[in-house]
Structure 1
Amino acid sequence: MKQNKKWLMLVMFLVAAVLVLGACSGDKDESENNNDKDNSEENNDTDTEATAGGTLNFAFNAQPPMLDPTGTTATATRDMVRNIYEQLVTFDSEMNVVPMLAESFEVNEEDATVTFELRQGVKFHNGEEMTAEDVVASMERWAAQSAQAISFLSGVTFKADGDYTVIAQLDKIGGIDMFIFADLTQIAAIMPKEVAEAAGDEPLTEYIGTGPYKFEEWKQDQYIKLLKFEDYVASEEPANGLAGKKEAYADEIVFHIVTDASTRVAGLQSGEYHFANFLSPDSVPQLQADDNVVTLPEINSIPGFVFNKKEGIFTDIKMRQAFAAGVNLEEVMHAAYGDAEFYELDPSLMLEGHAWYTDAGSENYDQRDIEKAKQLLDEAGYNGEEVRILTSREYEDYYTFSVVVQEQLKEAGMNIVLDVVDWSTVLEKREDPSAYDIFISGWGVRPTPVQYPFLDSGAEWPGWTDSPEIDALIEDIQATTDENEQKALVEELQTEFWNYLPILKPGNKADVMGHRASIEGFETLLGPVLWNVSINE
């Protein structure tokens, strides 16, 4: 890969510490509390040749709001479309930014450009070859829609230089630019030029990518089916995280929409499903006792109460601070996840061990101070108005959060009501500032602490942060390449995070995924990786 030395040093710093204790998953590090048989590495290290054919049946907890990868940050969309679409660059297993559809990339700080040399001969699912014109159209659409691109790459333009070279022109080279190009929440998906241009700002209606599987059918509330792409052109590099060689061993992947957690568990044990996600921690002992099932509880995400800072009572910072002061976060996390194996109490935006980990602002974390909450409510002029929490039982932990804080904050005099809907409706209603006061969501731990959408005022992300102080700190962190300065700025950022409270973070959580023991080659990296996976039955 062609990169200048300064950029390599910066990337090495940003990934100097592994973000998770093992492989990453979903919206986590593999727990050491699994039985020996529940070690996915051990089960997947095999000298036998992968078995081709069959259908991978995945019991998925929620239906995606769309399959347009740039149109939503929804985990369900992310996990499904990564099989259909690919990016110019992506992450390897240690979260280094590496080529995918690009053969190489070169960062030129003086000219503020990133030059992508494309792999030749890559085919779209419609049979056409990918060229620079397709990439330019796709990247322009992404740059206009991705919250990360709008925040960190504002003003970026793209141009083709021949059939297989694309040049990104930036206003200036920043400290995390390549991480934005590789972002997994609204991926910079490459699609045919005519598809990107026909969709424009509207959601895609044609799902044509370059990935190892192609879209076949979506039966609402039942399943989404993908078929093996027979003409897939794989990278020649060894498989590594989301990069390198991909093989579509299974003939098809069917994501079954199974919103009930107990049904996912039963189907996994019966063999109806090969995979199931977001399993209840209460079900783990039962699954670990089953020799036919492998469980993967992994901590690498954070849940959070997102305050509506555009309309309503939480536009007042004292109301947000009152909510944070009165909640017992340990009780919230224990109620949602049970055993401490499945959660951590931690105020940081990063996992412990990361180069930028800090406990700055922790004096405002898990305060459990009802009297302080009452005082802040008085100062805010609160008079018993309804506090509307938007939540869904499709994520049982989020629903549990809602129920617990509703009860806890009664003592402080807060009148909390719950609006319980399906997850797709949560994603729809959270865009309307008149529809709620709080919604609950979760985020995979980002490669850098400035990439969370709830931090950035310019992102216009639901919750609508508007903090000049946070914005200035993010800009300073992005601009500098000095390690000590970056760390000091991150401490300031996290202190301001706990003062301004764009969200209330209760801790870190483990999402539990399970698969049949007959599955070989399975790995996770911020979601399930379903290529290079075979069924040995």
Structure 2
Amino acid sequence: MKAKKSVRDRLRLDAIRRRATPIENHIIDEYAAGKITRRDFIRRGTIIGMSVSVLGFVATACATDEGATTTLAGGPTTTGGSGTTGGPTTTGATGTSGSTGAGAIRAAMITPAGAIDPVLTNDEGRLAILGQTGQYLAFSDAELNLIPVLAESWEPNETLDVWTFNLRQGVTYHDGSPMVADDVVAVFTNIASGNAASAYETFGVTPENIVAIDEATVEFTLAQPNGSFPFFVSSDNYNGIIVPASFWDSYAEGSYETEFPGTGIWQIENHEPGVSASFVKNQNYWGDNAAQPEQLEVTFFADEAVAVTAFQEGRVDVIPHISSSGGQALLESPDATVASIPTAQHRQVYFDTSAPPFNDKRVRQAVALTLNRQVLIDGLLAGFGTVGNDHPIWEFFPMFSQDTPAQRTEDLAAAQGLLDAAGLGAFEAPLHTLVFAEVEDLAQLIAASAAQVGITLNLGVFDSGTYYNDYWLAAAGSMGIVNYGHRGVPNVYLAAPLLSDGTWNASHWVNETYDDLYNQFASAPDLDIQRQLSGELQTLLNDEVPFIVPYFVDHISITQPNFSGLVVTGMGHVDLVNASVS
């Protein structure tokens, strides 16, 4: 029987390979040769649109050496329960009406920074709410896999500059109307001028080159090849929730809040901006949500201490995301279950490289050498973080290169030597930042560290509006600190803040070698080539130091001991489809 099964599997594999595109066959070859892990094979396959069933079969059929194809140890994992792995109910099963789920789930979530709005959302508070009623073409999960949701499949052309998405059939909005290709085109046309503008630049997307081929097919033609393009239409681009094309006929800032239109598992019941939101189960959901609770009650909190108190008093079941400092009272509590996942979220401590003293890379290197990064993680993040090495390519990204410069560590003698070589004695410079999580404390510790080699950094701490309007992109011979949220691929990190003409280039750093390397990286279909280019990017950025990346921040969630089924991502998406309280 084993021999027959082996022959049958070989024949099926041969048939798959005959139908596969050259790019798909290349990825299969890499896996069969042991060049990439099983995890990297499945992740890369989902990006280019190979189905999960085909990937699973090929992974088993091609596995030759267990050591060459097992999942990398230490990678990200999802938290809590046995729920979905790709966002709210992505199985595509026929909707299950009826009420077999739990009662109400009570969650404490970060207060949205403004109106819930698909165009303007740029914060975790709003994206978490958008994801309750709305869905994406694909979902980027906590293990960096792309899971088909409203798109059933997708595929690129051979040059990776045209991507075709096949929409899932039978999907309906909360009002019962069907989702069609024109809806997708309308979404990606109308959000282009909002918060997602940098993503359009990064991935080479222009609205006029997004077309509906028919009611179930959408085609994106890019300005340049991009091997990671499906992340643009995924939950990574949290502005891209799919709503009816008619929504845009009367769109105005905040108009989404009148109905919260979408295809998701929850329907809005009541919303009091800045205070609370309640949702009821979508009884006519297009997928399988039989286990979903009947109701979700969200209380917003601007102060984490308020959420902690509510949790301690038993008024909330789950805090999907809290900082290590804000949640300190619960981290060691026997009455709380704490879970964390590593993420690519990081702080960028940037230098204005356009003017003295930071136009000399030796000065930038010197500042970087004053930091004890593990001490920062232990003191500011209670250990919930990963050391950074002054580039944004997180060690858990598949394209991260191990062949990179040694980890930069505190070395005050080397720092002083660099300052002496630059002809600088003691000097002063501004360090501007915003009130956010532990960032103000980070700024103070950076200033204290730099003072050890005669650098006086004068701190300016501002609310986010003042900071981003008046200081962030200003060229003032200064330093600053910004936060970059989690992404499934590093393209946004590598483009907007680092390209010579990048829209978020607060460092005012101009480097043609970098620009060329990034363009090669973005269009590379081969993980080996991408990893090689990633190594060159990591080395260049570590040497030039347009900004310091002191650490990457873990995502912490806290639940009551009798709660299960929470699934979160590093970006802040929250999936409660299988949540329950025992």
TM-score normalized by the length of structure 1: 0.79
1:477 maps to 521
Post-superposition offset of 1:495:
0.8
Question: Which residues in structure 2 correspond to 1:52-131 (within 5 Å)?
Answer: 52-60=102-110, 63-92=112-141, 94-109=143-158, 112-125=161-174, 127-131=176-180
Equivalent of 1:509 in 537, 550, 553 = 553
Worse-matched range after superposition: 80-89 or 273-282: 273-282
Give the drift of 1:176: 1.4
TM-superposed deviation, 1:460: 0.7
- Greater CA drift, 146-155 or 227-236: 227-236
Q: Larger radius of gyration, structure 1 or 2? A: 2
1:159 has 2:203 as partner: no
Q: Which amino acid aligns with 2:539?
A: T
> After the TM superposition, which residues 123-522 of structure 1 pair with which residues of structure 2 at under 5 Å, given as runs?
123-125=172-174, 127-144=176-193, 145-155=196-206, 157-171=209-223, 173-196=225-248, 198-199=250-251, 206=257, 207-214=260-267, 219=272, 222-228=274-280, 230=282, 233-235=285-287, 248-260=292-304, 262-276=305-319, 277-280=321-324, 287-291=331-335, 293-307=336-350, 309=352, 316-318=359-361, 319-338=363-382, 340=383, 342-347=384-389, 349-352=392-395, 354-359=397-402, 362-363=405-406, 365-369=408-412, 372-373=415-416, 375-376=418-419, 379=422, 384-392=427-435, 394-395=436-437, 397-422=438-463, 426=467, 433=474, 437-444=479-486, 446-452=487-493, 453-461=496-504, 463=506, 466-522=510-566
Equivalent-residue separation in structure 2 for 1:190 and 1:129 (angstroms)? 12
Query: TM-score, length-normalised on structure 2?
Result: 0.73
The Cα shift of 1:136 comes to 0.6
Question: Paired residue for 2:41, among 12, 15, 20?
Answer: 12
Distance 2:246 2:181 in 1: 13
Q: 1:459 to 1:18 in 2, by over 3 A?
A: farther
Q: 2:467 and 2:290 mapped to 1: Cα distance?
A: 34
Cα contact 1:457–1:466 (8 A) shared by 2:
yes
Amino acid across the alignment from 1:531: L
Instruction: Identify the residue that residue 75 of structure 2 maps to in structure 1.
Output: 21
Contact kept, 8 Å, 2:473 with 2:506, in 1: the verdict is: no
Percent identity of paired positions between Structure 1 and Structure 2: 18
Separation (CA, whole Å) in 1 of partners of 2:490 and 2:181: 32
Seen in structure 2, the aligned counterparts of structure 1 residues 19 and 283 have a Cα distance that, compared at 3 Å, is same
The residue type paired with residue 390 of structure 1 is T
Whether contact under 8 Å (1:371, 1:412) holds in the other structure is no
Counterpart for residue 575 of structure 2: 530
Q: Secondary structure at the match of 1:122?
A: coil
Letter in 2 for 1:433: A
Secondary structure of 1:321's aligned partner: helix
SS in 2 for 1:161: strand
TM-superposed deviation, 1:350? 4.6
Q: Does the 8 A contact of 2:83 with 2:578 survive in 1?
A: no
Q: Structure 1 356/135 Cα, relative in aligned 2: closer, same or farther at 3 Å?
A: closer
* CA positional deviation for 1:175: 1.7
Report the Cα offset of residue 167 of structure 1: 1.9
| C-alpha displacement of 1:20 | 6.0
1:129 to 1:474, Cα distance in 2 relative to 1, 3 A? same
Residues 487, 290 of structure 1: CA spacing in aligned structure 2 closer, same or farther, 3 A cutoff? same
C-alpha separation between the residues in 1 aligned to 2:420 and 2:271? 48
The one-letter amino acid of 1:148's match is: A
Alignment-mate amino acid for residue 107 of structure 2: N
Q: What whole-Å deviation, never above 9, does each CA across 1:455-488 have from its counterpart, x for those lacking one?
A: 4445412625543322211211222334433222
Equivalent residue letter for 2:183:
D
1:311, 1:203 → 2: CA distance?
Answer: 39
Q: Deviations over 1:367-389 (max 9, x none)?
A: 43366357438838687444132
Query: What amino acid is aligned across from residue 173 of structure 2 in structure 1?
Result: F
Provide the C-alpha distance between the structure 2 equivalents of 1:400 and 1:130, rounded to a whole number of angstroms.
47
Task: Tell me: CA distance 1:310–1:384, structure 2 relative to 1, closer, same or farther (3 Å).
Answer: closer
Letter in 2 for 1:58: A
| C-alpha distance 504-86 of structure 1, shift in aligned 2 (>3 A) | same
> SS in structure 1 opposite 2:343?
strand
The letter for the 2-side match of 1:209 is G
Relative distance call for 1:307 and 1:146 in structure 2 (3 A) is same
Letter in 2 for 1:280: S
Aligned to 1:139, the other structure's residue is in SS state: helix
1:216 offset after TM fit, Å?
6.0
Separation in 1, partners of 2:182, 2:109: 38
For 2:277, the aligned partner's letter is: K
Mapped partners of 1:148, 1:377: distance in 2: 41
Deviations for 1:287-315, whole angstroms, at most 9, x for unmatched residues? Answer: 55424x21113322342233254877676
SS of the residue aligned with 1:416?
Answer: strand
376-385 or 344-353, which deviates more: 376-385
- Gaps of at least 5 residues in structure 1 are 25-29, 31-39, 237-244
Instruction: Answer yes or no: is the 8 Å Cα contact 2:23–2:158 preserved in 1.
Output: no
The Cα shift of 1:492 comes to 0.3
Are the equivalent residues in 2 in contact too, given 1:300–1:508 (CA < 8 A)? yes
Distance 1:309 1:69 in 2: 32
Gap change, CA 1:103 and 1:14, over 3 Å in 2: closer
Equivalent position SS for 2:367:
helix
CA contact 1:226–1:252 (8 Å) conserved in 2 = yes
Q: Retained in 2: the 8 A contact 1:139–1:188?
A: yes
- Residues 76, 342 of structure 2: 8 Å contact kept: no
Range that drifts further, 428-437 or 91-100: 428-437
- Aligned length in residues: 501
CA distance in 2, matches of 1:175, 1:337: 34
1:301 counterpart SS class = coil
1 or 2 for the larger relative contact order (CA 8 Å, sep ≥6)?
1
Return closer, same or farther for 1:151/1:420 CA change in 2, 3 Å cut-off. Answer: same
Contact 2:270–2:279, Cα closer than 8 Å, also in 1: no
